[in-house]
Amino acid sequence: MDIKALKGVGEKTASYFSQLNIYTTEDLLKHYPRKYDIYEEPVRVADLEADEDLEGNVVAMEGVVIKSPDIYGNGKLKILSVNLKDENGDAFKVTFFNMPFLKNNFKLGARYIFRGIINKTRKMWTFEQPKLFTRAAYKELEGSMMPIYPLTKGITNNMLTKLVSGLLKEYEERLEPEYIPLWVREKYELAEHNFAMQNIHFPKEFDDYINARHRLSFEEFFLFILATLSLKSSKETNPNIYEINRLEKIDEFIEGLPFKLTNAQLKTVEEVRADYTGPKIMSRLIQGDVGSGKTIVAIIALLEIALNNYQGAMMVPTEVLAIQQFESLKDLIEKNGLDIKIELLVGSMTAKEKRLAYERIQSGEAQIIIGTHALIQEKLEYKDLALVITDEQHRFGVAQRESFSNKGRRPHILVMSATPIPRTLAIILYGDLDISVIDELPKGRLPIKNAVVDESYRDNADKFLEREVKAGHQCYVICPMVEESENFTGANVIDYSKELSKRLPDCRIEYLHGKLKPAKKEEIMRRFSKHEIDILVSTTVIEVGVNVPNATVMLIENSEMFGLAGLHQLRGRVGRGDAQSYCIFMTGKKSEKIKKRLDILKNSNDGFEIARKDLELRGPGDFFGVRQSGDFNFGIADIFADAQTLKEASDAAKLIYDADNNLESDENALLKEKVIEYRGKVLDKINI
């Protein structure tokens, strides 16, 4: 049903809902809670003193009134202040605004449980406007989990809770048929679909929530795998229709590189060249952690394709990266005296620039094309496209990968990803691709040195940047924001670079962010690459792919505001050359919790390990908010937290597929409908 069919949802509310991608009642039910408000056991003052993370958060406390309350304030504002003690006899305070009538509730000796945000003001632990419960009422609620939904302007949590609970009541009467075959549910201990829906929103107890979540993540993986299995079978049969030969010029090019390829790179280059000179169309994934040297493999392939008189194109997720790859490839082609024309294509070029680029691509004058998703524009036609490469594939959707491979006459496909997942999981998730792994860093790389510090280290940080610049190196500083904002307090690129320039007048400092014009971004990146800039203050636009080996310092401001996976990618921008590199995680807020999280990064350089530890630390209440980055945006499942479920879903999907690959049996009829629906509606939205 359209969301507007619900009582109380009109045009205006519907437009707010569209901000959350909710258009139908089904979308609404799939809008899962971000986390839950768990009514925990009341704490005491001693607990508050012992755990600094409790301050500023919601807690419950039980207390006995030790003094008849005062009302003070004047005219408009009346403050009711109640003094209490907990069971240890330690004092705390509760204040209410403009609710003088509550005074009668707080007779001497009365006992209540309060729940709200606790803060220490003037040495006294104080609740402002907490909720008030009798002991019996609180015991009823204790342990229950109330949903907290992702929200947007115009949509409150209360409203969502009511709408979802109303829908679920209706649902109970018209059960949706179960579409996962019974034997699968039994074998993998999966809750029934409707139970899962009910209990993901309103779990009566923790176990119900776990069961609901297990079922729903299984279902997501299961549908995803069934949908992609059919992609693979359609590709396996495609013959190689291009005449591509191994060229000596390419061997010479590899020989002439300023470095020796690692064994892992050599093996991968070999696999790729064997693919496109072989009998079948290539569909290959290259997996390798940041800095492992994936780009050179792509370049070798692009050059060999171009020298065979075909076109090759490489798509990257950001303009900054497109520009950088373009510039460095152009240099490389010139240095090697190769006769190859390359073209840049990004979304924000002017209409005229684009038209000219389109013409050169269509006529075949452009042999290698580098760009953003502008490369998959429908209007764009290629002359003779034989190879498409997607860099940082985890930033694109399956559908984008598909449209790229539908350009031309079904070109060879190469995708590259730095997502730190073990090979076993990669085989499942990228089921339709062959996999090469670059599991070796270039020789001579020193491990990056890490430090987690706060504002008190500011002077040292400045001196450190200055020292590295004097030594001939370059630095990145990352700020979470572009400019000053009312809603956030983190550092911003524009003000920060002004202030830093004052403090370090001898350094050449510039800033970069996503909102700059492409020509400006291009200029800044080029100047940074050529070492005409010493310190680049930037937002996370440089997070993926950017490569300036002379940069040795990555200083990240307000690092508590970033996800660990994102921080790992940012750190990957340094340590790309022979010199010792450093990563400084600066935090704006002092807290044990934040420090513990960042220590994970400090102690490990292994992306998968980092993701796993991050999850462990968060614990189950936080399960939901965990999105490692923009990658793998399944609705509820998380490939790190649910790795086991992913394996099971894959086994189940294979069993079904092997027995009935078109899902034609009666038993699989409902499943078939679901898979078709999924392929049409959901698959596009998964970044993989």
Binding site for ligand ADP (CB under 6 A): 259-262, 265, 288, 290-296, 418, 442, 545, 547, 549, 576
Judged by beta carbon distances under 5 to 8 A according to partner kind, the member of Mg ion, ligand ADP, none in contact with residue 470 is none
Return the structure tokens found at 214: 């297990």
In whole angstroms, give the CA distance from residue 642 to residue 638: 5
Cβ closer to ligand ADP: 548 or 615?
Answer: 548
Select 82 or 389, whichever has its Cβ closest to Mg ion: 389
Given ligand ADP, Mg ion, none, residue 587, with its beta carbon under 5 to 8 Å by kind, binds: none
DSSP label at residue 34: S
**Nearest distance in Å: CB 294, ligand ADP:** 4
Beta-bridge mates of residue 83: 67, 93
CA gap 491, 150 in Å, rounded: 25
Length of the chain (residues):
688
Phi-psi region at 682: left, alpha or beta (left = phi > 0; alpha = psi -120 to 50): alpha
Choose from Mg ion, ligand ADP, none: what does 296 bind? Cβ within 5-8 Å by kind.
Answer: ligand ADP
Name which of Mg ion, ligand ADP, none residue 292 binds, using a CB cut-off of 5 to 8 Å depending on partner kind: ligand ADP
Residue the block writes with tokens 């997070």? 543
Closest contact distance (angstroms) between CB of 325 and ligand ADP is 9
Q: Least distance from C-beta 265 to ligand ADP, angstroms?
A: 6
**Is 518 or 545 the residue whose CB approaches Mg ion more closely?**
545
Which DSSP helix (H) or strand (E) runs through 346?
A: none
DSSP class of residue 244 equals -
The residue at minimum Cβ distance from Mg ion is 545
What's the closest the beta carbon of residue 295 comes to Mg ion, in angstroms? 5
Dihedral angle sign, alpha carbons of residues 321, 323, 327, 329:
positive
Assigned token pair, 452: 């987690």
Q: Which is nearer to ligand ADP, 543 or 638 (CB)?
A: 543
Question: Are 463 and 452 spatial neighbours (Cβ–Cβ below 8 Å)?
Answer: no
Side-chain-side CA neighbours of residue 263 (13 Å):
2
450 binds, among ligand ADP, Mg ion, none (CB under 5 to 8 A by kind): none
**The two three-digit tokens of residue 687, written as one number:** 């970044």
Residue 181 interacts with, from Mg ion, ligand ADP, none (CB under 5-8 Å by kind): none
Q: How far apart are CA 263 and CA 132, in angstroms?
A: 67
Tokens 């403050």 correspond to 79
584 neighbors 453 (Cβ within 8 angstroms): yes
Kindly state the tokens that stand for 434.
């062959």
576 binds, among Mg ion, ligand ADP, none (CB under 5 to 8 A by kind): ligand ADP
How far apart are CB 323 and Mg ion at their closest, in Å? 14
Q: Where are the beta strands (DSSP E) in 463-602?
A: 474-478, 509-512, 535-538, 551-556, 582-587
Min separation Cβ 684 and ligand ADP, Å: 26
Q: Which is nearer to ligand ADP, 491 or 512 (CB)?
A: 512
Rounded Cα distance between 526 and 524, Å, is: 5
Q: Alpha-carbon torsion 172, 174, 180, 185, what sign?
A: positive
Report in angstroms how near the CB of residue 440 gets to ligand ADP at its nearest: 9
Give backbone dihedrals phi and psi of 570, rounded to 5 degrees, phi first.
-60, -45
Q: Which is nearer to ligand ADP, 296 or 504 (CB)?
A: 296
Return the exposure string of 593-604: e unless at least 16 CB atoms fall within 10 Å of the residue's CB, then b: ebeebbebbeeb
The entry of Mg ion, ligand ADP, none that residue 290 binds, CB within 5 to 8 Å by partner kind? ligand ADP
Contact 607, 639 (CB under 8 A): no
CB of 344 to ligand ADP, least distance (A): 18
Give min distance, CB of 335 to Mg ion, in A: 20
Beta carbon nearer to ligand ADP, 82 or 299:
299
> What residues make contact with Mg ion under the rule CB under 5 A?
545
Taking the complex as a whole, how short is the minimal distance between the CB of residue 272 and ligand ADP, in angstroms?
Answer: 14
Question: Who's near 220: CB < 8 A, 6+ residues apart?
Answer: 634, 635, 636, 637
442, interface contact from Mg ion, ligand ADP, none, CB < 5-8 Å by kind: ligand ADP
259 binds, among ligand ADP, Mg ion, none (CB under 5 to 8 A by kind): ligand ADP
With contact defined as beta carbons under 8 Å apart, do 214 and 191 qualify? yes
Closer Cβ to ligand ADP, 187 or 260, answer by number: 260
Shortest CB 330 distance to Mg ion, Å: 17
- Name which of 317 and 545 has its Cβ closer to Mg ion: 545
State which residue, 181 or 575, has the beta carbon closest to ligand ADP.
575
One DSSP character per residue, 283-327 reads EEEEEE-TTS--HHHHHHHHHHHHHTT-EEEEE-S-HHHHHHHHH
From the list ligand ADP, Mg ion, none, partner contacted by residue 28 (C-beta under 5 to 8 A by kind)? none
User: How far apart are CB 444 and ligand ADP at their closest, in Å?
Assistant: 7
Q: Which CB sits closer to ligand ADP, 294 or 679?
A: 294
150 binds, among ligand ADP, Mg ion, none (CB under 5 to 8 A by kind): none
- What's the closest the beta carbon of residue 288 comes to ligand ADP, in angstroms? 5
Q: How far apart are CA 531 and CA 336, in angstroms?
A: 22
Q: Work out what residue 281 binds among ligand ADP, Mg ion, none; the CB cut-off runs from 5 to 8 Å by kind.
A: none
Of ligand ADP, Mg ion, none, which one sits near residue 539, judging by CB under 5 to 8 A according to partner kind?
Answer: none
E strands, 539-684, are 551-556, 582-587
Q: Smallest gap, in angstroms, from Cβ of residue 342 to Mg ion?
A: 18
Which tokens hold the place of 633? 């945006």
Which one, 419 or 559, has the nearer CB to Mg ion? 419
- Report helix, strand or coil for 467: helix
CB closer to Mg ion, 546 vs 567: 546
Distance, first Cα to last Cα, the chain: 30
Instruction: For ligand ADP, give the closer residue by CB, 492 or 547.
Output: 547
**3-class DSSP assignment, residue 241:** coil
